[in-house]
Structure 1
């Protein structure tokens, strides 16, 4: 009986020792978060420890502290950036880098390129003498410093008429390019898994208009796609 008690006490002490060691191994992991390829610090990123499910946010200069143990998996998320997941390898401070979402960057670049091309065409109309794109101000009819000839030329001339049509086209194209940043084949495919004709049909039937998207964030765009996909699958059923 005495031997059994000794064995039991030994096991209990071992368990208490292990527990103490486990607590001792937990520490405050400190780090800083930067944008990949630059010196920009990222604030308001969410840092989550998958083991104990604790979460903290990085401050305005990208610094954070979170309870962790060596071997824990840490996940860093931030809107408009790709998620970063890593394993804590030591108790040393960490410097982390988040990459911007490539899809968003590509759309922004494409949109800027299109805008530059459209601006160049509009400048060409001005070089040809149409300064008001076919919509002259009424002040041009004033006998005091006005220019009635310019006013009537802008109203009825061929070049201003073409410029007026082009300006409408330009406005439409820029609005559509902006909406493309939230609703394009790559983003829709990644969030729905649709391909081929199904993807084409979905994008045709559920594309949001500019009035909806003009004040959107990336989160709003993702929510629209997911909500629309639920409607789409319900229709198939």
Structure 2
């Protein structure tokens, strides 16, 4: 670590103190996109492992975060494999564009052999990863029904409510909820299970599953036996 000397004269004595210099800062910027189709990924998480600072990409997939040389940045997005990059520059600006790869769909069987299902374990990991956003309450409008406290107090202005950061946070929560529901459906309506019930393989299996993709509410009320009946009924109708 680089140090500087600070000389202090106290009375007749000479005092020399060694004060560490602050690490030089670099602004890391770039765009986060899908590796296969080059679509931008808004609200992706960028985490500086060394400083514990976190930010998210904007609606255009762009991000900006402060770092120092050799800091490790972790890029995450719902449904994608996380990526890790190391900052190389020591000052100024460094551009790190990230192309993220889609994570494979849930293809395991339906048997539960541990305390938690694979879906539950994945869900808990996602909640922990994005907890800084999900646990942050949305700002409320001043004077909104039930929002303004009696007497003196702190209220949130419409400017804050509709700020870019607040809007991105609300959009991310909607996206997270949608992805969680799809993950739950995929954890039960699996190619393995559907193939076992219908006997379909390959393209025919994919086509049937696409045409009969269930909604979240249906999957929540069906137990495993009812799900087998549901797939069978859908397959009979689909063959006709």
- Which bracket does the TM-score occupy, shorter chain normalised? 0.3 to 0.5
Q: Higher helix fraction: Structure 1 or Structure 2?
A: 1
**TM-score between both structures, scaled by the size of structure 2:** 0.46
Q: Which has the larger radius of gyration?
A: 1
Higher relative contact order (CA 8 A, sep 6+): 2
**TM-score between both structures, scaled by the size of structure 1:** 0.46
